[in-house]
Amino acid sequence: MNKIFLDTNLLIYLSTSHTSKAEKVSDLINKTHFCFISVQILNEFAAACFKKELLSFDQIQKYIWEYNLCFEVADVNFRNISECFLLKKKYKYSWFDSLIIATALLNGCQTLYSEDLQHKQVIENKLTILNPFV
């Protein structure tokens, strides 16, 4: 069983556009039973939508509630932060990208979909980063 983890930008495409990127994200979600995001992803989604004025206040709130119901939402706690330090040092990603990777790993995900990280990189022999738009 493949558990996947979605980066923030994929939720933004899903919520704000009717492009081929939104369709691709929807296809990924529909093909898996275990799709993870994290509290961090929900916060990044809301912050980006507010900052770029992509959606109204009510729409942002609606999507946050829907994503909470549709996806497995992983908490971010001290264990994630501890793992994040190790991953940041080893792989040299930004703090917040390292935290996403740590959370995906700690939740047993095999695939992290992101267009911002190194496509096809394998982290700790457990997690493969894939850009779904390549």
What is the rounded average pLDDT for all residues in the chain? 96
pLDDT one-digit tens code per residue, 72-116: 999 999 999 999 999 999 999 999 999 999 999 999 999 999 999
CATH number at residue 32: 3.40.50.1010
Q: What is the total count of domains within the chain?
A: 1
H or E element, residue 134: none
**Residue 39 sits in which domain range?**
3-130
pLDDT, position 70: 93
Cα four-point dihedral sign 17, 31, 117, 67: positive
Q: What is the pTM of this model?
A: 0.94
Indicate the residue type of 28.
L
Q: Helix (H, G, I), strand (E, B), or coil: what is residue 112?
A: strand
pLDDT at 18 over 80: no
